[in-house]
Amino acid sequence: MKLDSKIPSGPLAEKWDKHRFEMKLVNPANKRKYSAIVVGSGLAGASAAASMAELGYNVSCFCFQDSPRRAHSIGAQGGINAAKNYQNDGDSVYRLFFDTIKGGDFRSREANTYRLAQVSVDIIDQCAAQGVPFAREYGGTLANRSFGGALVSRTFYARGQTGQQLLLGAYSALSRQIAAGKVKMFPRTEMLDLVLIDGHAKGIVVRDLVTGKISSHAADAVVLATGGYGRVFDLSTMGLGCNVTAVYKAYKKGALFANPCYTQIHPTCIPHTGEYQSKLTLMSESLRNDGRIWVPKNKDDKRPPNEIPEEERDYYLERKYPSYGNLAPRDISSRSAKEVCDEGRGVGKSGYSVYLDFADAINRLGKEVIEQRYGNLFDMYHLITDEDPYQVPMRIYPATHYTMGGLWVDYNLESNIPGLFVIGEANFSDHGANRLGASALMQGLADGYFILPYTIGDYFGRVGAQNVSSDREEFHQVEEAVTAQTKKLLSINGKRTVDSFHKALGEIMWEYVGMARNETGLKKALEMIPALREEFWRDVRVLGESNEMNNPLEKAGRVADFLEFAELFAVDALHREESCGAHFREEYQTKEGEAVRNDKKFAYVAAWEYKGIGNKPELHKEELEFESVELATRSYK
Amino acid sequence: MNLTLRVWRQKNAQDKGRMEKYEAHDISPDMSFLEMLDVVNEDLIKKGIDPIHFDHDCREGICGACSLVIDGIPHGKEHATTTCELRMRHFKDGDTITVEPFRAKAFPVIKDLMVDRSALDRIIQAGGFVSVNTGGAPDANAIPIFKDDAETAMDAAACIGCGACVAACKNASAMLFVSAKVGHLVNLPQGKVEARERVGKMVAQMDAEGFGNCSNYLECEAVCPKEISVKFISKMNRERMKAAVKM
């Protein structure tokens, strides 16, 4: 299979303009003849559904939550990047592009990343026009803060709830189109498979989570905006419903899965406390603007933090990376935390956490300023841990967060299956091997508001309206397969709960496919995952019926997909014999423990093709060509 | 610690429903309320009993999916806390805890503790937006916004749409929810343009959905996990007056 990324020719800065001119347009009067399915209602899904409906297309939007407003984009705290240069501190489209490519450790596509930086400025305008209550200065202009991996202040924010406010903005635009009858919304409805007709994506099969009814929906194109797969680790910062099912089912239908091993471990989360734990709570990276990260210099120092004198503290990020300090990128910060804990210098009961200390900032700026900047985060921390971060340093530890990998897409955000578009976190396109903070919100909205509505029109213009009926044989076949899987899950009646399998999978992934990986561990994981999967299909217990609201049944379907997907994840991690961004292979590091990339062998996107359960997927390579940026070793020193 | 739970069980919307008693063993004070329910559910599944159904997702107090009336109070008795953030350290060994769904005519029960809150979505669809299409927005700094106004708008916009305000109200009124959206948008120049029309449409939809009227009990503010102030209800009433006078 030849992967054609369809990157337009010409200078980097002119590609998107040129492409927009070359793409086919659909006559405004004809737009209502086309229909699109959007799966997911987060930043990418809601903004895409609303924008397409505004253009005149007929949109159906599906989400498993009870309301589109609850998609997990809502959890994002810190902010959204844009190259506005409102601070006059030397920012530009090119700098945002460069920071993103460098932050991604030179494993993303130049053209996509540049376009992302270009449209970032429009996003802020759009959101302000919708009434997103961004933070403001006294003069009434927008305020900015800094984020990891950047030396400029380009992050816009709405207290510690930026994701919530941007999502509610997109949700309001979506709501307006629902009221106008241009979007038909299907909440509490889960996509269980993709339907292809003559090789094109023309519909989906879904389960109504309230009645259990399986049904088919046809359209001229399908857009997946179903988020990331971090829950393959079980414990993560993701919402508990987040899953890989939609994209994994598309993968099984022939869509290529790109770079699944690029998974970000976020450095600032509330540490794990016990077996029962269902999720890890993120503390926004913006805290690193004012918080200083440290551990005791000596091993097993059990004194309370306030009794450890200054000279016996190791501010290890400031020591190792003097120019970026506490704002070093996420992958580096996470690994450094693991290192000091592995050395026995970690703090807290488990020894697996580090301090994030605001004492200096409170002395310098006063409690009030800190409260204004981070009040809700401090409150959340206090609620969960019963410790007051105004008095004692926070304790943090890395946790699985964002997944840079996803379905492979070309410049048009179209997968290798014609008519199947993938946007937001669900695709692989813009962040390479590591995403910078405050860039996920930017990408979700860039894809949904400003890229997909154009590129999907080009597809419609090329293939024409098809008026596919969901009564066709292809839909019936998929419905039967979906129904059969549901029946099977309910009939096993074994001994172990779905959650116990999910936990066991998470433990394998964290131990062997987590923050630092090696060949031996990955091979071990590749033996353990299929064994666990086999046990699942033999011994899982799912109670209840298929024709009712049945949570464990929903979860069982998702965990079944995670149990297959985990293997693909480990295969990718094993094949990539280099360390880059969030993918750290212990065999490939310098004496100081810095990652060693291998650009000669691995400067490509690894796109995997499904070859059957338990069979090795086939690797397809998209070589990354850098015309504008020189590949260099990342340095944040 | 060990606890006794009295939980509302209802198979579906047609079922009458009843309270059931369950034991919760070895509960850690660091657990969240929902993690405690997870533990109980694992136990129920092992015994062959259908687990307790409840809505939840983010488990960090922002998505608004979790609900539950705990010992008579939506989201439990801790101030400014969603059920998913509520920790078991606020309970004592041997406690009996009563867990019920949010109750309101406009929130029919789907199963057990899960209710249908789509009426809130329909209120937003009636007018909880600025009518601006994608593209063509002016530069974000073109319209300066007084910092205090932006902060007030944000105070209101912090609403997570959980519906606790409705569940706490004797009249099952959604006034706090509606006023939070009205208050968010009317404090910003972008939202002022449609202010008059918006408030009328949203209130009309609220009435059509079967929510009750506001009679100033202020229970809504007391239970709101995001501390949305009732001053937004007064503000909304002023907006309605203004709309009536100018029409």
- Please indicate, yes or no, whether residues B55 and B151 belong to a single structural domain of this protein: no
B210: which 2 tokens?
């079967």
When CB atoms are compared, the residue of A74, A175, A274 closest to B62 is: A74
CA pair distance A63, A45, nearest whole angstrom: 9
| Phi and psi at residue A603, to the nearest 5° | -80, 60
Q: What is the CATH number of the domain that holds B218?
A: 1.10.1060.10
CA distances to A52, A185, A240, A458, B243 from A454, in Å: 9, 22, 33, 7, 39
* pLDDT one-digit tens code per residue, A121-158: 999 999 999 999 999 999 999 999 988 788 999 999 99
A549: which 2 tokens?
């609201």
Cα A1 to its chain centre, rounded Å, is: 27
| Domain finish residue from B63, B93, B111 | B111
Contact list in A for residue B154 (CB cut-off 8 A) is: 133, 135, 158-159, 165
> Residue B51 and residue A543: Cβ atoms within 8 Å?
yes
* pLDDT one-digit tens code per residue, A558-611: 999 999 999 999 999 999 999 999 999 999 999 878 899 999 999 999 999 999
Q: Is the dihedral of CA B171, B174, B179, B184 positive or negative?
A: positive
Domain boundaries, chain A: 268-399, 473-602
* pLDDT one-digit tens code per residue, A424-477: 999 998 999 999 999 999 999 999 999 999 999 999 999 999 999 999 999 999
Contact list in A for residue B128 (CB cut-off 8 A) is: 172, 175
> Residue A176 and residue B60: Cβ atoms within 8 Å?
no
- Please indicate, yes or no, whether residues B63 and B159 belong to a single structural domain of this protein: no
CA pair distance B195, B95, nearest whole angstrom: 49
Query: Burial level of B247, CB count in 10 A (0-12/13-18/19+)?
Result: exposed
- Please indicate, yes or no, whether residues B183 and B212 belong to a single structural domain of this protein: yes
What DSSP character marks residue B106? T
Q: Do the Cβ atoms of B45 and A552 come closer than 8 Å?
A: yes
Contact list in B for residue A74 (CB cut-off 8 A) is: 58, 62-63
* pLDDT one-digit tens code per residue, B169-208: 999 999 999 999 999 999 999 999 999 999 999 999 999 9
- Please indicate, yes or no, whether residues B232 and B127 belong to a single structural domain of this protein: yes
- Please indicate, yes or no, whether residues B32 and B67 belong to a single structural domain of this protein: yes
Q: How far does B176 lie from chain A, in Å, by closest CA?
A: 17
Contact list in B for residue A163 (CB cut-off 8 A) is: 62
Q: Do the Cβ atoms of A578 and A598 come closer than 8 Å?
A: yes
Give contacts of B 75-114 with A, CB under 8 A.
Answer: 80-81, 85, 87, 89, 110-111, 114
Contacts of A572 (CB under 8 A, 6+ apart): A259, A260, A261, A405, A606, A608
Any CB–CB contact under 8 A between A165 and chain B?
Answer: yes
Helical ranges in A42-161 per DSSP H = 43-55, 93-103, 110-130
Nearest CA in chain B to A174: B125
Any CB–CB contact under 8 A between A140 and chain B?
Answer: yes
Any CB–CB contact under 8 A between A520 and chain B?
Answer: no
Q: What confidence tier does A270 reach under pLDDT thresholds 50, 70, 90?
A: very high
Q: What confidence tier does A350 reach under pLDDT thresholds 50, 70, 90?
A: confident
Mean pLDDT, all residues of chain B: 97
When CB atoms are compared, the residue of A68, A72, A128 closest to B140 is: A128
User: Regarding the domain delimited by A268-399, which CATH topology (the fold level of the hierarchy) does it fall under?
Assistant: Flavocytochrome C3; Chain A, domain 1 (3.90.700)
- Please indicate, yes or no, whether residues B81 and B138 belong to a single structural domain of this protein: no
Q: Which domain holds residue B15?
A: 3-111
CATH number of this structure's domain A473-602, picked from the four choices 3.40.1190.10, 3.40.190.10, 3.90.550.10, 1.20.58.100 = 1.20.58.100
Give contacts of B 172-201 with A, CB under 8 A.
Answer: 184-185, 188, 190-191
Is the overall model pTM greater than 0.95, yes or no? yes
CA pair distance A510, A108, nearest whole angstrom: 25
| Domain finish residue from B51, B84, B111 | B111
Q: What stretch of H or E contains A443? A: helix A440-445
Structural domains in chain B (count): 2
> Residue A138 and residue B147: Cβ atoms within 8 Å?
yes
Give contacts of A 258-277 with B, CB under 8 A.
Answer: 273-274, 276-277
Q: Do the Cβ atoms of A599 and A631 come closer than 8 Å?
A: yes
| 10-residue stretch averages of pLDDT, chain B, 247 residues long | 98 97 96 97 97 97 97 97 96 98 98 98 98 96 97 98 98 98 98 96 98 96 98 97 82
Contact list in A for residue B12 (CB cut-off 8 A) is: 548-549
- Please indicate, yes or no, whether residues B106 and B129 belong to a single structural domain of this protein: no
Quick check: A275 pLDDT over 90? Answer: no
Would you state the pLDDT for residue A14? 98
Q: Do the Cβ atoms of A203 and A468 come closer than 8 Å?
A: yes
- Please indicate, yes or no, whether residues B68 and B184 belong to a single structural domain of this protein: no
- Please indicate, yes or no, whether residues B131 and B217 belong to a single structural domain of this protein: yes
- Please indicate, yes or no, whether residues B48 and B150 belong to a single structural domain of this protein: no
CA pair distance A105, A102, nearest whole angstrom: 5
Any CB–CB contact under 8 A between B1 and chain A?
Answer: no
> Residue B154 and residue A133: Cβ atoms within 8 Å?
yes
- Please indicate, yes or no, whether residues B81 and B55 belong to a single structural domain of this protein: yes
CA distances to A72, A444, A567, B60 from A227, in Å: 8, 9, 19, 18
Would you state the pLDDT for residue B247? 55
| Domain finish residue from B60, B93, B111 | B111
Nearest CA in chain A to B110: A210
Nearest CA in chain A to B64: A70
Would you state the pLDDT for residue A636? 78
CA pair distance B148, A138, nearest whole angstrom: 8
Q: What is the CATH number of the domain that holds B78?
A: 3.10.20.30
| Phi and psi at residue B17, to the nearest 5° | 85, 155
> Residue B63 and residue A137: Cβ atoms within 8 Å?
no
Question: How many pairs of residues across A and B have Cβ atoms under 8 Å apart?
Answer: 215
Q: What stretch of H or E contains A251? A: helix A245-252
- Please indicate, yes or no, whether residues B97 and B152 belong to a single structural domain of this protein: no
